[in-house]
Amino acid sequence: MSSDVHGTPRRATLLWATLIVATLLTWGMGVLGATGKGAIAALAAISFWKGAVIILDFMALRHAPALWRMLTLGWMVLVWAVIAIAYIKGMPQ
């Protein structure tokens, strides 16, 4: 495997460790009962970043044709849009 396309083991390890830290951070926010629009926005941003890292780096699409990147990242954006709409509609007036 070429490191130009798939990155280096060091990069993968650093990204993996960062994903673990982000997961622990969001878990900790849940345990501590973080609420409010700011907490929800932070959780959404962290999880969106995690999804992008997994798609681009661990699925090795960072250097793939643009169509594949647009399809996978676009799917993630669509799912998050549906989640956001459901959350906003479910908020008390």
Tokens of 88: 């906003």
Q: Count of CB atoms within 10 A of residue 80's CB? A: 14
C-alpha distance from residue 54 to each of 5, 13, 73, 74, 92 (Å): 15, 13, 10, 14, 34
Residue 19 above 70 pLDDT?
Answer: yes
Residue 1 above 60 pLDDT?
Answer: no
Mean pLDDT of 50-62: 95
Query: How high is the pLDDT of residue 26?
Result: 96
pLDDT in tens, 73-85: 999 999 999 999 9
Higher per-residue pLDDT: 47 or 1:
47
pLDDT band at 32 (very low <50, low <70, confident <90, very high): very high
**DSSP assignment string, the chain:** --HHHH--HHHHHHHHHHHHHHHHHHHHHHHTT--SHHHHHHHHHHHHHHHHHIIIIIS--TTS-HHHHHHHHHHHHHHHHHHHHHHHHHS--
Higher per-residue pLDDT: 1 or 87:
87
